[in-house]
Amino acid sequence: MKLTTFVAAACIAALGGAAFAEDGALKVGMITTLSGGGAGLGIDTRDGFLLAAKLAGGDKLDIVVEDDQRKPDIAVQLADKMIQSEKVDILTGIVWSNLAMAVVPAATAQGKFYLSTNAAPSALAGKGCHQNYFSVSYQNDNLHEAAGAYVKDAGYSKPFILAPNYPAGQDSLTGFKRLYGGELSGEVYTQLGQTDYAAEIAQIRASDADSIFFFLPGGMGISFLKQYADSGLELPVVGPAFSFDQGILQAVGDAALGVINTSQWNKDIDNPANARFVEEFQAEYGRLPSLYAAQGYDTANLLLSAMDSADISDADAFRAALKSADFDSVRGDFAFAANNHPIQDIYVREVIKEGDVYTNKIVGVALEDHANVYVDECKM
């Protein structure tokens, strides 16, 4: 038995002593980030996915989990390994857009299915779309578009916007501007991995901004929020969910309280599937689920629903079964647009404190049944 299979099997077994994959189980390769600075996101993705597999009986999916170390070349190597020697049917799990860009086109070109639990770069939604590539999370622009729509609806007229200088950052500001459409008081690109935002905060102070939109994933967002809170500026801050996710909020602390952020999921969305997910996740892992866990959970459930109505050996039928999205999403209504990206509601959340724990509550809907702008460019 391969060690990695063993590890995955051990994970599933640890989840409740479920029987290990039998013949006829669908073989899933999960490539995600389990070591280094971004490990928290990959761990949540994996845990959400494995939880869904366990709740479905544990013997339908044979899951191989591997760590990509957040390095594109390692991710490519793992994908080769999973396709060539593990002979998986489905690939999933990548957190970062640049890793997805390295893995997905080659995997789908070899006839494998790829279900994205998070990253959904615009290049794979428009001209580069593929019939075997499904994004279960969102299209990368979605949350930024929702933030733009919110800022416009809330009546702000001079937002100051900032993001790191890399493709996802540029997409973010473009997405924001697409649905905001008004005048900006400033637009700044920061360095990727930058940890000190004193200079940007000074620029905001000197500007005539009436609100701030920022996209700074991971540690960058923590640094920005702490420094902003200490600057004495009191302009309202809006951002996508990434900097306010369950895993990261505790490290931001009070600095995040009251901040508005946009997300397609939250733990208080009122439907039975979500209630069960939140409860089971806490019971299993002893912590609140994050957005990434929810996306991993939905991805596994989508896959399981397709298995109920089609067999992987008939790729066309299986693809159609995936596309029908006949599963109970924790987000409520869920459907795929023509380019295999979700049509879903995007919510406005506010950061609150429940006892000692920082978390989010939904305060409104930014966009209803929102798809993405790349649908028309996609020819498949």
Partner 1 sequence: MTPLLFIEQVLNGLQFGVMLFLMAAGLTLVFGVMGLINLAHGSLYMVGAFAAAAVAGWSGSFLLALVAALAASAAAGAIVELTVIRRLYDRDHLDQVLATFALILIFSEGTRWLFGSFPLFLDIPDWLSGPVTLPGGIEYPLYRLAIIAVGLSIATGLFWLIARTRLGIRIRAGESDREMIAALGVDISRLYTIVFALGAALAGLAGAMVGAIQSVQVGMGEPVLILAFVVIVIGGIGSIKGALVGALLVGLTDTLGGLLLPEAFKLFMETSDATATGSALASMLIYILMAVVLVWRPRGLFGGAT
Partner 2 sequence: MSRERMVNAALMALLLGVPLWAWATDEPFTITLATRVAILALAGVGLNIALGLGGLVSLGHAAFFGIGGYAMGILASHAQSYTPLMESPFLLEGTKSMPVIWLVAILASALAALVIGALSLRTSGVYFIMITLAFGQMLYFFSISWPAYGGEDGLSIYLRNGFPGLNTLDPIQFFALCFGCLAAALWFNARLVRSPFGLALNAARQSPERVETVGLGTFRLRLVAFVISGAITGLAGALFADLNRFVSPGMFSWQMSGEIMVFVILGGVGRLYGPVAGAALFITLEHVLGGISPFWHVWLGFLLLLVVLFARGGVIGLLAGRRVAHD
11 contacts partner 1 (rule: CB under 8 A): no
Q: Site for partner 1 (CB under 8 A): which residue of 206, 316, 356, 376?
A: 206
**Least distance to partner 1 from the beta carbon of 38, Å?**
8
Q: Which one of the spans 72-80, 98-106, 222-230, 349-357 is the region binding partner 1 (CB under 8 A)?
A: 222-230
Q: Pick the closer one to partner 1 by CB: 223 or 324.
A: 223
Q: Site for partner 1 (CB under 8 A): which residue of 37, 111, 182, 258?
A: 37
Which residues in this chain contact partner 2 in the complex, by CB under 8 A? Answer: 2-4, 7, 34-35, 66-67, 71-73, 76-77, 80-81, 84-85, 97-98, 101-102, 105-106, 109, 121, 123, 165-168, 170, 191-192
188 contacts partner 1 (rule: CB under 8 A): yes
378 contacts which partner out of partner 2, partner 1, none, CB within 5 to 8 A by kind?
none
**Least distance to partner 1 from the beta carbon of 215, Å?**
15
Kind plus residue range of the DSSP H or E element containing 58 = none
**Least distance to partner 2 from the beta carbon of 84, Å?**
4
57 contacts partner 1 (rule: CB under 8 A): no
Cα–Cα dist 311/76, whole Å = 27
Which has the closest alpha carbon to 242: 101, 354, 356, 144?
Answer: 144
Query: For strand 133-135 and strand 90-92, is the pairing parallel, antiparallel, or unpaired?
Result: unpaired
Q: Site for partner 1 (CB under 8 A): which residue of 8, 61, 123, 220?
A: 220
User: What is the DSSP secondary-structure string of 73-84?
Assistant: HHHHHHHHHHHH
Other beta carbons within 10 angstroms of residue 112's beta carbon come to 20
Beta strands, E only, 181-315: 186-190, 211-214, 237-240, 260-263
Cα–Cα dist 52/48, whole Å = 6
**Least distance to partner 1 from the beta carbon of 237, Å?**
16
**Least distance to partner 2 from the beta carbon of 64, Å?**
10
369 contacts partner 1 (rule: CB under 8 A): no
CA pseudo-torsion sign 121, 123, 129, 132: negative
Q: Site for partner 1 (CB under 8 A): which residue of 153, 230, 268, 314?
A: 230
Other beta carbons within 10 angstroms of residue 37's beta carbon come to 11
187 contacts which partner out of partner 1, partner 2, none, CB within 5 to 8 A by kind?
partner 1
253 contacts which partner out of partner 2, partner 1, none, CB within 5 to 8 A by kind?
partner 1
Cα–Cα dist 378/228, whole Å = 40
Kind plus residue range of the DSSP H or E element containing 342 = strand 342-354
1 contacts partner 1 (rule: CB under 8 A): no
Confirm if 52 and 297 have CB atoms less than 8 A apart: yes
Confirm if 293 and 50 have CB atoms less than 8 A apart: no
Per-residue x/- mask for partner 1, residues 233 to 272, rule CB under 8 A? --------------xx-xxxxxx-----------------
Kind plus residue range of the DSSP H or E element containing 276 = helix 272-285
Q: Pick the closer one to partner 2 by CB: 71 or 158.
A: 71
**SS3 of residue 298 by DSSP:** helix
Q: Pick the closer one to partner 2 by CB: 87 or 356.
A: 87
Distance of CA 88 to the CA centre of its chain: 23
Cα–Cα dist 131/324, whole Å = 13
**SS3 of residue 358 by DSSP:** strand
Residues that bind partner 1 (CB under 8 A): 35-37, 39-40, 43, 165, 170, 187-191, 193, 195-196, 198-199, 202-203, 205-206, 218-220, 222-223, 226-227, 230-232, 247-248, 250-255
